[in-house]
Amino acid sequence: MAAAYGVPHVATGDMFRAAVADGSELGKRVRPYLDTGDLVPDDLTIDLIRERLAEEDGFVLDGFPRTMAQAEALDAMLDEIGKPLDAVILLQVSDEEATKRLRARAEQEGRADDSPEAIRNRLRLYHELTELVVDRYQLAGIEVIVDGEQTVDEVFAAIQDALEGVVTRR
């Protein structure tokens, strides 16, 4: 999606996995959280994003914010750099479908956090913490819901439609 619009794809999960692969100090600190599917503490996650966003003009954020504290910190950062969010895309997928897809990915890629226990933990944390963030953006009126259970091409087209709406409204 980001590539189609020529803007950087800023994915906290990818950044954390890269840090683990590099064996950096950050990687050593976050690895235990990634392995069990727990959330990395807010302060580490917010610092990582703050550094990255300062470098970019526009971006697609993926996997961030996942907690209310992260959402509030993001608001403050965006205020500071004068770049409000254009849209928040919620890809809606049932727990059953998410579990099925993650199990299939586990077979293909062998990601540590695609174990059955880590998958359950990640879904639990989503419902407990991230759904509040979803409600927050819904209230702010900038959230677009896309059915994430469609094919990849259909999801892509639905997101494109949603973004056209945003650009036209500007």
Cα separations in angstroms, 92 against 21, 98, 134, 147: 30, 10, 11, 5
Residues numbered 46 to 105 that lie near ligand AMP (CB under 6 A) are: 63-64, 66, 70
Residues numbered 135 to 164 that lie near ligand AMP (CB under 6 A) are: none
Task: Look up residue 2 and give its two tokens.
Answer: 């980001």
Residue 133 binds to ligand AMP (criterion: CB under 6 A): no
Residue 27 binds to ligand AMP (criterion: CB under 6 A): no
Contacts of 163 (CB under 8 A, 6+ apart): 5, 86, 87
Contact residue for ligand AMP among 10, 19, 34, 155 (CB under 6 A): 34
Residue 130 binds to ligand AMP (criterion: CB under 6 A): no
Rounded to 5 degrees, φ, ψ at 79 are -60, -45
> What is the rounded end-to-end Cα distance, in angstroms, of the chain?
20
Residue 13 binds to ligand AMP (criterion: CB under 6 A): yes
**Contact residues for ligand AMP, defined by CB under 6 A:** 12-13, 16, 33-34, 37-40, 45, 63-64, 66, 70, 113, 122
